């Protein structure tokens, strides 16, 4: 059986499950980061929190309920501290030899740091040449669950920690469920890319989920989603409100063509690899639809709408931009590039 849904239903569903429909109460950071928030662009993580949680502050990314890790091949991510094992061990390779290499690297990191939090370059200088090469590949030690990071947008520190108390296979399946819940309908190939695992590992995890999946067709493209989420996507109500999401926010991370049908407009908010706009764009999301791009330099935000917006929408966009949780001595400003 294959369920057929419309593009609008998918976007409404994803906005709601990733908490872009209505902001969560102040302090609900772990709930907002349930599926992981990418923080590769300076302070993108805290802006993603701002789009989901009331009263987000510049230092909310360091809330005790959160932790930073290298995820999916080395991208900086903010995840719930209580669930960190899901996002680390969930990507641990099944190949025994590869697993031993990663564990040995984690052993050496613990040995040279001696429990201390050190800058990445300091740790690299203390490692053996072989481990230094593996370390530079993109932080694979994080997949052991024994290494966290702290990145303040200029410096990365490495934090040796104890292994999370979760079975590796349980972590793999839970990570896959979180991906399917936030990004469904989707495919095994996209899950493999998002988790950063090899195709055979993704296939093994997918097999463990198959009995809980249902085929879903969106505009002629076939995918799958959790059977438990079917009612939510079929009955997805329209989303209301204005959000400014950063580049690589989970809402816009995948399926760019689904988000922005027009190719020219899509390139303005999701520039193709190798094409530079001179800035890293974010998305202006109005009632669940992207209507333009925005950019930020410190506390100065420039808004690039694609069409004429109602006065109340422009005012809401300005409120969101002026409230960005970005520290600085200058006064926040918003300008429009109409």
pLDDT digits (tens, 9 = 90+) for 159-185: 999 999 999 999 999 999 999 999 999
Q: What's the rounded Cα separation, in Å, for the pair 21 and 298?
A: 27
Q: Mean pLDDT, the chain, as a whole number?
A: 94
Banded model confidence at residue 135, pLDDT cuts 50, 70, 90? low
Q: Is residue 138 pLDDT above 60, yes or no?
A: no
Banded model confidence at residue 72, pLDDT cuts 50, 70, 90? confident
Instruction: Give 285's strand partners.
Output: 243, 290
Helix (H) or strand (E) holding 267: helix 263-269
Which stretch of 100-114, 183-197, 242-256 has the lowest confidence by average pLDDT? 100-114
Buried b (16+ CB within 10 A) or exposed e, 303-315: bbbbeebeeebbe
Q: Is residue 288 pLDDT above 80, yes or no?
A: yes
State pLDDT tens for residues 314-335: 999 999 999 999 998 899 999 9
Q: Is residue 31 pLDDT above 70, yes or no?
A: yes
The pLDDT of residue 133 = 65
Q: What is the percent of the chain where pLDDT is above 70?
A: 96
Residue 67 phi/psi, 5° resolution? -150, 150
Q: What's the rounded Cα separation, in Å, for the pair 193 and 140?
A: 15
The pLDDT of residue 134 = 62
Cβ count within 10 A of residue 160: 20
What is the arithmetic mean of pLDDT over 305-319? 96
Domain ranges of the chain: 242-336
Q: Is residue 301 pLDDT above 70, yes or no?
A: yes
The pLDDT of residue 141 = 84
Closest CA to 16 of 280, 266, 275, 285: 285
Closest CA to 334 of 309, 308, 297, 306: 297
What is the arithmetic mean of pLDDT over 83-94? 97
Buried b (16+ CB within 10 A) or exposed e, 89-118: bbbbbeeeeeeebbbbbbebbbebbeeeeb
Q: Is residue 137 pLDDT above 70, yes or no?
A: no
The pLDDT of residue 274 = 60
The pLDDT of residue 136 = 61
State pLDDT tens for residues 6-27: 999 999 999 999 999 999 999 9
Closest CA to 237 of 3, 4, 1, 13: 13
Inter-residue contact 249 to 48 (CB < 8 Å)? yes
Q: pTM score, two decimals? A: 0.95
pLDDT top residue among 120 and 47: 47
């Amino acid at each position: 059986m294959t369920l057929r849904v419309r593009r609008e239903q998918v976007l409404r569903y994803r906005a709601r499950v990733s908490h872009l429909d209505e902001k969560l109460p102040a302090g609900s950071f772990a709930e907002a980061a349930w599926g992981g928030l990418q923080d590769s662009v300076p302070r993108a993580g805290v802006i993603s929190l701002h789009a989901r949680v009331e009263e987000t502050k510049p230092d909310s990314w360091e809330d005790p309920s959160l932790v930073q890790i290298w995820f999916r091949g080395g991208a900086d991510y903010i995840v719930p501290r209580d669930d960190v094992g899901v996002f680390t061990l969930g990507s641990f390779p099944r190949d025994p030899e590869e697993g031993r290499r990663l564990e040995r690297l984690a052993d050496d990191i613990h040995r040279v740091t001696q429990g201390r939090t050190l800058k990445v370059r300091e740790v690299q200088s203390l490692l053996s040449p072989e481990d230094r090469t593996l370390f530079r590949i993109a932080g694979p030690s994080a997949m052991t669950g024994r290494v966290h990071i702290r990145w303040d947008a200029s410096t990365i520190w490495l934090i040796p920690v104890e292994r999370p108390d979760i079975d590796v296979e349980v972590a793999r399946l839970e990570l896959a469920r979180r991906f399917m819940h936030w990004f469904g309908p989707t495919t095994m190939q996209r899950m493999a890319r998002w988790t950063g695992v090899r195709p055979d590992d993704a296939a093994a995890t997918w097999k463990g989920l198959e009995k809980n999946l249902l085929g879903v067709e969106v505009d002629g493209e076939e995918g799958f989603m959790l059977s438990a989420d079917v009612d939510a996507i079929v009955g997805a109500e329209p989303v209301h409100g204005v959000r400014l999401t950063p580049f690589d926010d989970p809402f816009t991370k995948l399926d760019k063509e689904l988000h922005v049908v027009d190719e020219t407009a899509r390139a303005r908010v999701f520039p193709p690899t190798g094409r530079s706009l001179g800035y890293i764009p974010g998305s202006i999301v109005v009632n669940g639809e992207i209507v333009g791009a925005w950019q930020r330099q410190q506390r100065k935000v420039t808004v690039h709408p694609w069409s004429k917006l109602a006065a109340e929408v422009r005012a809401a966009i300005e409120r969101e931009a002026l409230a960005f949780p970005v520290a600085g001595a200058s006064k926040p400003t918003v300008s429009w590039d109409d």
